[in-house]
């Protein structure tokens, strides 16, 4: 026998289920009047520095069907690459947004400012990106991925550099469709499967 390690184990995940909106986006579920407003309606306030952009996309299951019941959360730095809570962060950027795939079309929309490049440990610099967390019925543990931008220099990004199959890098790159709008589709499984992260 040995001494026990003084480490607990993380609580295991379970699927958010089909009714995740009741708890996280109550007005989407039709639950009104409990909270004054849903949490995380926008990651920015008026006056946030930087370029305002809109990201539109869908989440496709393994059959190519756009999911109607997914919930997404995004987390990002401000236009200078500083996260909320860090010194010098833009006070108009909360950085967090919660949104749902549309119940009829399955399309989601995220309106925010384009984040700046982020400095990590040991001199690492990450190209501008937005972190995404996706939960839904059928997803047993939330899926993490990132949105990068095709009109930024992603060539030295340490995370993208670790993707062995280079064509898969493209699954993390949002496409500029003009007028400050980007398209970012997520494929859970099969051809063109999005790279999901464990970090």
Partner 1 sequence: MTDTAALMPRRREMHPDPYYPDYKTSITRSPSLPLLSMESTPSEETGPRFGHNKLGALDNNLICNYTQGKALAVGERIRVHGRVLDELGRPVPHTLVEIWQANAGGRYRHIKDTYFAPLDPNFGGCGRTITDENGYYEFMTIRPGAYPWPNRANDWRPMHIHFSIFGHAFGQRLISQMYFQGDPLIDLCPIAATIRNRSQLDRLVAPLDMQNSRGMDYLAYKFDIVLRGRRQTMFENKPEGM
Q: What does residue 96 show for φ and ψ, rounded to 5 degrees?
A: -115, 135
* 71, 33 Cβ separation under 8 angstroms: no
Stretch that binds partner 1, among 45-53, 66-74, 104-112, 177-185 (CB under 8 A): 66-74
| Residue 135 binds to partner 1 (criterion: CB under 8 A) | yes
Candidate list 3, 4, 121, 178; residue touching partner 1; CB under 8 A:
121
Q: Does 94 bind partner 1 (CB under 8 A)?
A: yes
**Structure tokens given for 133:** 């967390």
Please select the residue that binds partner 1; options are 80, 92, 131, 176, rule is CB under 8 A. Answer: 131
The 155-194 site mask, x for binding partner 1 (CB under 8 A), equals: ---xx--xx------------------------xxx--xx
> Is residue 86 within the footprint of partner 1 (CB under 8 A)?
yes
The alpha carbon of 64 is separated from its chain's Cα centroid by a whole number of angstroms, namely 20
> Is residue 146 near partner 1 by the rule CB under 8 A?
yes
Site for partner 1 in 2-61 (CB under 8 A): 6-24, 26, 29-31, 33-36, 39-40, 61
- Return the DSSP state at 51: -
- Identity of the residue, 92 or 179, whose beta carbon is nearer to partner 1 in the bound complex: 92
* Residues in contact with 107: Cβ distance below 8 Å, sequence separation at least 6, in sequence order: 56, 57, 58, 66, 101
Stretch that binds partner 1, among 50-58, 81-89, 106-114, 176-184 (CB under 8 A): 81-89
Residue 55 has, within 13 A of its CA and on its CB side, a CA count of 31
First CA to last CA across the chain, in angstroms? Answer: 32
Q: Which stretch binds partner 1 (CB under 8 A): 105-113, 130-138, 147-155, 177-185?
A: 130-138
3-state secondary structure of 90: coil
- The Cα-based distances of 161 to 47, 107, 167 in angstroms read 34, 29, 12
């Amino acid at each position: 026998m040995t001494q026990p390690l003084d480490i607990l184990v993380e609580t295991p995940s379970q699927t958010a289920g089909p009714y995740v909106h009741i708890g996280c986006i109550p007005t989407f579920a039709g639950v009104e009047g409990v909270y004054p407003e849903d949490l995380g309606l926008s990651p920015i306030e008026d006056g946030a520095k930087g370029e305002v952009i809109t990201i539109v996309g869908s989440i496709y299951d393994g059959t190519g069907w756009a999911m109607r019941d997914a919930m997404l959360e995004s987390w990002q730095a401000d236009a200078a690459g500083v996260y909320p809570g860090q010194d010098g962060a833009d006070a108009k950027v909360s950085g967090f947004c919660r949104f749902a795939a549309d119940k009829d079309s399955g399309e989601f929309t995220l309106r925010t400012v384009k984040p700046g490049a982020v400095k990590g440990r040991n001199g690492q610099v990450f190209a501008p990106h937005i972190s995404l967390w996706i939960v839904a019925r059928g997803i047993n543990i939330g899926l993490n991925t990132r949105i990068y931008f095709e009109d930024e220099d992603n060539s030295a990004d340490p995370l993208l550099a670790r993707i062995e199959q280079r064509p898969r890098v493209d699954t993390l790159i949002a496409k500029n469709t003009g007028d400050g709008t980007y398209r970012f589709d997520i494929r859970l499984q099969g051809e063109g499967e999005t790279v999901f992260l464990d970090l």
